[in-house]
Amino acid sequence: MKHPEALRPEEHAVFKPDKMGKATIFESSRILVGLNCFEPGQEHKLHAHAGMDKVYQVLSGNGVFLLEDREIEVGPGMMLVAPEGVPHGARNDGDERLVLLAILAPSP
């Protein structure tokens, strides 16, 4: 993908039948911008990043953000910030596809 360029992230969504799909929109040594794409029932289990912050933005669908010891129901427009070391994840417990914009800094 050529940058800088205006785009609609959800048009780059990649879905897989057996696990969460991922698509990288932009990557440098400072930041990674990508998509996490879930079919109904798929999950990105609770995990944490050392030395990296992560932001999730719901582009479409409904699901649950997993955050340490909590589960937070989310829908389009909602955002979660997971600072370094904070366990986080996501699950599509809806009937439609779930697309999350994921921003990681610095880039993994």
Mean pLDDT, the chain cut into blocks of 10 residues (108 residues total): 85 97 96 98 96 97 94 96 96 97 96
What are the extents of the domains in the chain? Answer: 22-105
pLDDT of residue 5: 85
pLDDT score recorded for residue 1: 66
- For residue 20, give Cα distances in angstroms to 31, 37, 40, 42, 77: 21, 6, 10, 6, 20
Give the predicted TM-score (pTM) of the model.
0.93
Query: What is the bridge-based pairing of β-strands 32-38 and 98-105?
Result: antiparallel
The CATH superfamily holding the domain 22-105 is Jelly Rolls (2.60.120.10)
CB 53, CB 68: distance < 8 Å: no
Q: What per-residue confidence (pLDDT) applies to 3?
A: 76
How many whole angstroms separate alpha carbon 63 and alpha carbon 7?
24
